Structure 1
Amino acid sequence: MNAIKIAAVALIVAGVLGLAYGGFTYTKETHETTLGPLELTVTDKETINVPIWAGVGAIAVGGLLLLFGSRKR
């Protein structure tokens, strides 16, 4: 498989996952401090919503890359 086919399959998989789950959540540390023997950290939970048009667009672009990406001129 060449790089174009791998990118096309990755776009299709990402589009399907975006449509299936609708978004993803991740946790990031925002503040960390040490007060003597105590260590305090603050973590924030962030949610990213994937729009429907982005999932459909990723599937469409991936499909087009599979169909037309490997053709020689």
Structure 2
Amino acid sequence: MKTLGIILIVVGILMFVFTNINFTTEKKVVDLGPVEINKKEDKSIAWPVWAGGVAVIAGVVLIIADKRKAS
């Protein structure tokens, strides 16, 4: 439980710092033998800032629950 809590805290902090991920995909449009036409598309994955806060809080709760269970 402690390890999962630490992972959630780290992921939550990263979600605060990086609010989205941008990447480029390449899609084949036309393929006529030796001639090939490709299209590059920019894509983005975004998440709300509050999701990072929820992850941090859940991690802290897991660590506290683990400490109470151990004592």
| Cross-structure match for 2:11 | 14
User: Could you say what secondary structure the match of 2:22 adopts?
Assistant: strand
| Cross-structure match for 1:27 | 24
**Structure 1 54/28 Cα, relative in aligned 2: closer, same or farther at 3 Å?**
same
Gaps in structure 2 of 5+ consecutive residues: none
Q: Aligned pairs, how many?
A: 68
Q: Which runs of 4 or more aligned residues in structure 1 lie more than 3 Å from their structure 2 counterparts after TM superposition?
A: none
* 2:64 is equivalent to residue 67 of structure 1: yes
Which is higher, the Rg of structure 1 or of structure 2? 2
**Structure 1 56/43 Cα, relative in aligned 2: closer, same or farther at 3 Å?**
same
RMSD: 2.0
The structure that is helix-richer by fraction is: 2
Query: Structure 1 length as normaliser, TM-score?
Result: 0.71
* Deviation (angstroms), 1:5: 2.4
Instruction: Pick the aligned partner of 2:55 from 52, 55, 58.
Output: 58
